[in-house]
Structure 1
Amino acid sequence: MASLGLVSDPDFPSHIAGSLGGDLPGLLDEQFDEESEWSVDVVRDPVAAGRSSGKEILDATERQRKLHGWDYAVAVTDLPLRKSGHPVLADIGSEHERVGVISLPSLGGLQPQRRARQLLISVLGELNGSERTDSGLQSGTTELLGPIRREGADSEAIAVRYRSTRRRGKLRLLSGMVRSNTPWRLVLGMSGALAAALGTSIFMLTSSTIWQMADMLGPWRRGVVLVVSVTVMTGWLIITHSLWEKPRYTADREQRMLYNSSTILTIMIGVGCLYVVLFAFNLAASLFLIDPELLSSTLGGTAGISNYLGLTWLVTSMGVTAGALGSGLEDDATVRRAAYGYREAQRRANQQQAEQRDQDG
């Protein structure tokens, strides 16, 4: 009987670890012939809070392993780990021989659960030295988009490291950071921005001047209006909610750039989701409220679906621009969850409070 503990950071890592926890026992029984049965426990703990290296996380994971009496322990974190400019997928301990750490962002933004499972099997194989079947980690697609290299680490604390190449690995790392931010959840929390965008759109749909303006604008001008509206709302959210990571908060320049890049992309995707939802609502509203004969008489010709689409495109873009003003009324915590640095600061504060309570108790 072998026991494994998955120690996960809150939020996205906790979701991944929880999903893996139910599948792993049977899968590990098949992968490792030496152990008859496996038990898997999942513990939610900000193990990476306030830490910046694999060694520090491994030390914290070893303490959790001893506390719970597990045979093996693996930390699952969304902290982007790097070494000499290379994104790190996993570190396996040397000083602590039965612990490892997996960095989810380095796995990329697509199929994180499947890739985390494959990487975890490889890490466990390193920890117990068992013969195992191919985990599928080194696929042809992976080799093309972001090759993974196994190497002996140049540190007494790290025995084996899985890392990706510098350039392609950073692109995958950035996509993984954006995935960890779950940008689509941003839309659900921005009720003020959505209300302002909806109100503005409905008002403009009733204006014959807007109908004529939409008919006169060509596709490229509508495209410019779209880009401007998304850019304005993205910039407004970042500025008004102080999402930009500054040097005094993160001294590591490269990590600061990763944080800011992932925040920009997350906000842009979130605003893009808002645009799609608003576009669908406005199209349905325009088809229901605006009679084709009335639209034809206003435009001086036969109105078709292209006229409705052009009108919806314009009013949605203007509605999103107005939604930027409404976004200033949002709760800071709702929007700041899209910023890596903010979430890390929150975890660090929660961890310090928990440690203080333990000391007081």
Structure 2
Amino acid sequence: MASLGLVSDPDFPSHVADSLAESLPRYLTERLDEAEWSIELVSDPVAAGRSSGKEILDATERQRRLHGWDYAVGVTDLPLRQEKRPVLADIGQEHERVGVISLPALGGFQPQRRARQLLASVLAELTGNDDRTDNGLYSPPTEVLAPIRRERASSDSIAVRYRSTRRRGRARLLSGMVRSNTPWRLVLGMSGALAAALATSVFGLTSSTVWQIADMLGPFRRGLLVVLAVALMATWLIVTHKLWEKPRYTADREQRMLYNSSTALTIVTGVGCLYVVLFAANLAGSLFLIDPELLSSSLGGSIGIGNYLGLALAATSMGVAAGALGSGLEDDATVRRAAYGYREAQRRANQQQTEQREQTGYPDQAGVRQQTEQQDQNGSREGTEQDSDTER
């Protein structure tokens, strides 16, 4: 029996690794020479602080030796790129029994299925099985949307690399970065914004003036109202909480564009989810609370479902606009946790800490280095303690 360790970043990669652990044993048995596989999971916050494929491979190798696994694969949501091309996986040269897969490069749809296919190819490399055509990784749709290429890496630390093409792969990478941020969590992650949105929506549903304004709006202006409300809250969140990536932190212009594009899409998607949920609640509330005769007497005409839809849309737009102001009551850390996954939230927090240190004066470098090493050691101990509960 061969043992495999999956060393994942916390948050979304851990969920993917947990799904893989359930389906992998049988999947690998059908495609690789080993008769049986045992899978163990480790969520490593220290590895989540690394910023390159080589560093993640080193951290994964340390976990492999610590647990005595035959093979180990890191599962990360770090968007890896090489020569401006998205990297799906790296197989170690210096560490011959470890590899790493980058979830964002797999795209935003069906990440578990694609991660399983890619992991089977990575394990085929690690075990010396050359059959890489049987797992669906090179399917015709993939070749059309974002072709995957296997190549020998010109590096002392990486033996084999799986990468995508630059242009088509970049679109898939961007969608994967948004998926890793799980934007729908934005709905419940900011209690202040949600409370302001709900309170304002209730006011809109009970105001006869809002009823009349909603009835006068045509389809075009209603659609424009929705776009403006979502754009207002998204822009407010990005600007107020300093979510825009600055050139000083990411010198690579294309990488910076990816970070900023993923932030904008994540926030817009999250606010869109908030709008849909709030609209459904307002529509249900208006149908339940507002009698058709009362609405008819206020609007002066026959009442249909279209009137209730327009009313719910107007109240929702008011609520989302108020939610933008309510989000100003949230601290930056709360917004980062709601808008990003663990790794990206930590990276943004480190940037903010750097700015704060610059404003107050740098501590001595030895103190900074000692503090960083202590945090890494604490994170490693915490990750090891958590591993005992998640191993399987």
Count of aligned positions: 359
* Structure-to-structure mapping, 1:135-284, within 5 angstroms: 135-284=135-284
1:189-208 Cα offsets, whole Å, 9 max, x none, are 22211211111111122222
Match for residue 326 of structure 1?
326
Larger mean Cα displacement after TM superposition, 73-82 or 124-133:
124-133
> Is 1:40 equivalent to 2:43 in the alignment?
no
Distance 1:250 1:229 in 2: 31
Q: Is the Cα–Cα contact under 8 Å of residues 14 and 43 in structure 2 kept in the other structure?
A: yes
Larger mean Cα displacement after TM superposition, 63-72 or 6-15:
63-72
What are the ranges of 5 or more consecutive residues in structure 2 without an aligned counterpart?
354-370, 382-392
Return closer, same or farther for 1:231/1:353 CA change in 2, 3 Å cut-off. Answer: farther
Match for residue 86 of structure 2?
87
4+ residue segments displaced more than 4 Å: 345-352, 356-360
Match for residue 99 of structure 1?
98
Deviation at 1:67, TM superposition (A): 2.1
Return closer, same or farther for 1:242/1:352 CA change in 2, 3 Å cut-off. Answer: farther
Return closer, same or farther for 1:358/1:54 CA change in 2, 3 Å cut-off. Answer: closer
SS in 2 for 1:151: strand
Match for residue 54 of structure 2?
55
How well do the aligned residues superpose, as a CA RMSD in angstroms?
Answer: 2.3
Deviation at 1:89, TM superposition (A): 0.2
Q: Is the Cα–Cα contact under 8 Å of residues 9 and 77 in structure 2 kept in the other structure?
A: yes
> Is 1:26 equivalent to 2:47 in the alignment?
no
Distance 2:165 2:129 in 1: 27
Distance 2:240 2:153 in 1: 43
Identity of aligned residues (%): 74
Distance 1:207 1:327 in 2: 24
Return closer, same or farther for 1:25/1:359 CA change in 2, 3 Å cut-off. Answer: closer
Whichever residue aligns with residue 69 of structure 2, its letter is W
1:95-118 Cα offsets, whole Å, 9 max, x none, are 221111100000000010111010
Which structure exhibits the higher relative contact order, with contacts defined as CA atoms closer than 8 Å and separated by 6 or more residues? 2
Distance 1:169 1:333 in 2: 31
Distance 1:356 1:20 in 2: 28
Deviation at 1:82, TM superposition (A): 0.2
Distance 2:74 2:349 in 1: 19
> Is 1:343 equivalent to 2:346 in the alignment?
yes
Deviation at 1:325, TM superposition (A): 1.1
Whichever residue aligns with residue 85 of structure 1, its letter is K
Return closer, same or farther for 1:69/1:354 CA change in 2, 3 Å cut-off. Answer: farther
Larger mean Cα displacement after TM superposition, 94-103 or 74-83:
94-103
> Is 1:294 equivalent to 2:294 in the alignment?
yes
* Structure-to-structure mapping, 1:5-20, within 5 angstroms: 5-20=5-20
Q: Is the Cα–Cα contact under 8 Å of residues 73 and 99 in structure 1 kept in the other structure?
A: yes
Whichever residue aligns with residue 117 of structure 1, its letter is R
Deviation at 1:156, TM superposition (A): 2.7
